[in-house]
Copies of this chain bind each other. A is one copy, B any other.
Amino acid sequence: MRAGEVAPGLDAPEEGNATTGATEADAVSVPEEPVTTGRPRRRGVPTIYDVAEAAGVAPSTVSRTFSRPGRVNSETAARIRQVAADLGYRTNPMARALSTTHTSLLALVVPDITNPVYFEIINGVQDEAAEAGYTVVLVDSRESDRREREALERALPIVEGIVLGTSRMSDASIRMIAKQRPMVAINRAVREIPSVVPDNSRGVRRALEHLGELGHEPVTYLAGPEASWADGMRWRGLREASLELAVHVRRLGPLAPTVAGGVAGAKAWLQSPTTAVIGFNDLVAIGFIRYVTSRGVRVPEDVSVVGYDNIFAADLVTPPLTTVATPRRALGAAAVRNLLAQIKGAHPRGGPPVVVPVKLVERQSTGPAPAQAPAAGTPPRGIPVR
């Protein structure tokens, strides 16, 4: 018995004692004045109790009406919904969560919301989540595993699952957290954790193919961070493609995955230039172009460069960047679908990563190799050596 409900009704004389489910004892104290607004409890947002009373049914019936439609007579349901609407009733997510542990919240972890690469991932995740009635909590680790852990720590207890859009944490930490909530990783393969990744090997292969067709040989790969899983995949793919396509590939790095990293790569490249380079990502490619351009090297006349990711800025720089477009929105959406499946019970954890296709976007930073290929160690014409 909910004492709290009865008492207030009784304590408020002007409310009269509408048979609020009062016991016989209560019933004896005959009401003397009619009530206008029979509001049950303290003022505030209406609850199922308010709706129940107004509709003349039990609270549990109201609850069922919203949580298990179908388990209640359609007419009663209709009436209840009507009353609820009139009262402006909205089910309280916290109360529901308390008894069901179902919060309709998902966490999305990204290392840096400022990094263009994540925009579309975020959009894809949000869209797919919204479609399933889920809201997403964005956890921005700011490239710090401490921040990431803290933020995740805070979000963990309220979310039903986690999408790891590139994490800065160790595999061990990740697995630790995966024990507490369903999780799926994007762009990173962690043993035991389901993941979805872009087709890295095909991406670099297409880039190399494109460059090869233009007559470039050899090609320089401006490598990403040592710890980067994606970099490992791309380099591996590049070596394989190199064999198949019969165009040599040199590796130069590791480099920070930023414009600054690209500048650093350009400086190194100037010491032993090639007619084409493939950047670890667009930022690196952009930094490369900027620097070599400032040194009098023309793109793509002297050197062709292709980036990776196809971020927003790729089409803004001069010349517009030829790059491998990763389907980031699809990546995010796929991750959420997988996650939701896990949440719904079917726990297909582990297994090989889901691979989504990529494609090469040809713009103006690539062109035919210069007529005469530079001798090894010799800068292409026009390049001031260092």
Contact = CB atoms under 8 A, between A and B. Distances in A.
A114 interface: yes
Contacts of A142: 123
A197 interface: no
A116 interface: yes
Contacts of A150: 130
Nearest to A134: B154
Given A138-B136, A312-B313, A157 B90 contact: yes
A151 B137 contact: no
Interface stretch (A91-99, A243-251, A355-363, A369-377): A91-99
- Name, among A135, A157, A286, the residue most crowded by chain B CB atoms within 10 Å (CB to CB): A135
B103 A113 contact: no
Interface in A262-303: 286, 290
Given A312-B114, A316-B259, A317-B316, A93 B123 contact: no
Interface of A: 90, 92-95, 97-98, 101, 103-105, 113-114, 116, 119-120, 122-123, 126, 130, 133, 135-138, 140, 142, 147, 150-151, 154-155, 157-158, 259, 286, 290, 312-313, 316-318
Given A94-B158, A135-B158, 8 more contacts: A93-B158, A104-B154, A113-B113, A114-B119, A130-B151, A133-B154, A316-B316, A316-B317
